[in-house]
Amino acid sequence: MFKSDAIKHFGKGNLLAKFLNITSGSVSQWGDVIPEKQALRLEKLTKGSLKYDPTLYKKVA
């Protein structure tokens, strides 16, 4: 899941952070791709409005 998509969904990064009960500083430290744990939480908490994409998190051998 891309950070830009999640922020677009919530309108602002601080609202995304509040929804996840984390600091806005944590959100600002994310790269372009949201950490996998948070992406899974967002998919569940938004009832699928935001989608977790497992291909973004493939493990490198």
CATH of the domain at 50: 1.10.260.40
- Three-class SS of residue 33? strand
Tens digit of pLDDT for each residue in 14-39? Answer: 999 999 999 999 999 999 999 999 99
Q: Which residue range is the domain that position 14 belongs to?
A: 3-57
Task: State the total domains in the chain.
Answer: 1
Return the pLDDT at 59.
76
Work out the mean pLDDT of the chain and round it to a whole number.
Answer: 95
33 strand-pairing partners: 2
Return the pLDDT at 13.
96
Alpha carbons 20 and 14: distance in angstroms, whole number: 10
Alpha carbons 33 and 57: distance in angstroms, whole number: 9
Q: Is the pLDDT of residue 61 over 70?
A: no
Q: Is the pLDDT of residue 41 over 90?
A: yes
Model pTM score: 0.87
